[in-house]
Amino acid sequence: MAAGEGQRLRPFTVNRPKVMLAIAGKPILRYVVEALAKNGVRNIVMVVGYRKDQIFDYFGAGEQFGVEITYIAQERQLGTAHALAQAQGVIADKFLILPGDNLIEAETIARFIEVEPEAVLVKKVDNPKRYGVVDIVRGQVRSIAEKPEEAGSNIISTGIYAFTKEIFRFIDPELDIPDTVNRMVAQECSVKAVTTDGTWLDAAYPWDILSLNDAVLRRIQPDLGGTIEANVAVKGKVSIGKNTAVRSHSYIAGPAVIGEDCEIGPSVCIQPSTSIGNNVVISPFSVIRNSVIGDDVNIGPGCVIYNSVIDKGCVIKGLLTACSNPAEIRINGEHHTVDVGVMMGEGCRLGDNIAAKPGTIIGNYSQVEGKTISGTLPDRSLVF
């Protein structure tokens, strides 16, 4: 399921589908494809829609990932059941459904792949009201309540299902798959609940990117490519791409990933849970911690960036302060209190000596000069 936009993740999904958000240098959807391939699942149908050409261009026919991909277009995103209905003519009698915008690993679905349909993969979480809460009796699903005001348990649906074509008798194109499951159960169809303890993370809001990034980085393998000058300290799991130069007196503490063709330092401090894309420049005396920096970003000297996401193509002249503290953020009428720095869309230009208050969201292609900024700036904002 790879058709959605992810409106609550703006500004990062204005120019790309949610499934193509980069986590530790790879799109979320790639982790799903790799998890399937490692479990021997080779025949994949992707239901695509919003900015689908980016998915075509990245995955192609699937050869480089060891799979065979068929694409089905959902031109109007009416719901997940509608998306499934589009694929009815090309899927096998037994099949799996996976959301393309959730981070999973091979171990997450290893046991589930062997389960006979119909079944749903469930998991215990700390914040069940964000998801579909599953009522289970003796291993059987009794109902799925989407985002209930009061959660009856902390067991939620991962959106991963094993079905036969029997499900198409119950689909209403205007509904989502949990509604379809409820309809099946109401007509006395058996739907098993299978529990996983494996990695399963959803990015619903911009700051969720940091949680996914941290989860991936904890499993990276050290790989020190490029050039590392004298008097550079590298500790923990750190991956550095080819043609990247880490200049003298810099300090890198893993887990951390630095892409290819980057210029780091001298005298730069990169602290744990940080991902840096390709062709990035980080100038002297800057400190970055628990952050995601996209491709082609230029960060000037003396910047302090904590718990932040900076999208591709941004230019920051210097002395940006983006520290992290609990902040109240409003998205689509929802209020959230989160410990976060700045969320910056792509192609932004920031002048010298800017302080971004915790929780600041800067829209794509914005320009900011000489200010303390806060709140949410729409795309193409000009602040002087």
CATH number at residue 61: 3.90.550.10
Asked if 224 contacts 31 with a C-beta cutoff of 8 angstroms, the reply is no
193 and 117 co-located in one domain: yes
Does a structural domain hold residue 209?
Answer: no
Rounded CA gap, 197 and 111, in Å?
11
pLDDT tens-digit readout, 5-27: 888 899 999 999 999 999 988 99
Confidence at 380, pLDDT banded by 50, 70, 90: very high
Confidence at 174, pLDDT banded by 50, 70, 90: low
Cα dihedral across residues 65, 70, 76, 78: positive or negative: negative
Does a structural domain hold residue 213?
Answer: no
Q: Is the pLDDT of residue 175 over 80?
A: no
pLDDT tens-digit readout, 250-278: 999 989 999 999 999 999 999 999 999 99
Q: Average pLDDT, stretch 130-158?
A: 87
Query: Which has the minimum average pLDDT: 8-12, 54-58, 121-125, 142-146?
Result: 142-146
Which of 174, 204, 234 delimits the end of a domain?
A: 204
Residue with the two structure tokens 């971004």: 356
In CATH, what number is assigned to the domain containing residue 268? Answer: 2.160.10.10
Task: Please give the pLDDT value at position 173.
Answer: 62
271 and 180 co-located in one domain: no
174 and 246 co-located in one domain: no
Residue 171: give the domain boundaries: 7-204
Rounded CA gap, 18 and 235, in Å?
33
169 and 120 co-located in one domain: yes
Rounded CA gap, 345 and 368, in Å?
13
261 and 318 co-located in one domain: yes
Does a structural domain hold residue 197?
Answer: yes
Q: Average pLDDT, stretch 344-354?
A: 96
Confidence at 328, pLDDT banded by 50, 70, 90: confident
Does a structural domain hold residue 212?
Answer: no
Task: Please give the pLDDT value at position 6.
Answer: 86
Q: Is the pLDDT of residue 78 over 90?
A: no
Q: Average pLDDT, stretch 44-73?
A: 93
Q: Is the pLDDT of residue 131 over 90?
A: no
Q: Average pLDDT, stretch 294-318?
A: 96
pLDDT tens-digit readout, 210-225: 999 999 999 898 999 8
Which of 141, 169, 204 delimits the end of a domain?
A: 204
155 and 271 co-located in one domain: no
How many other β-carbons are positioned within 10 Å of the β-carbon of residue 309?
Answer: 26
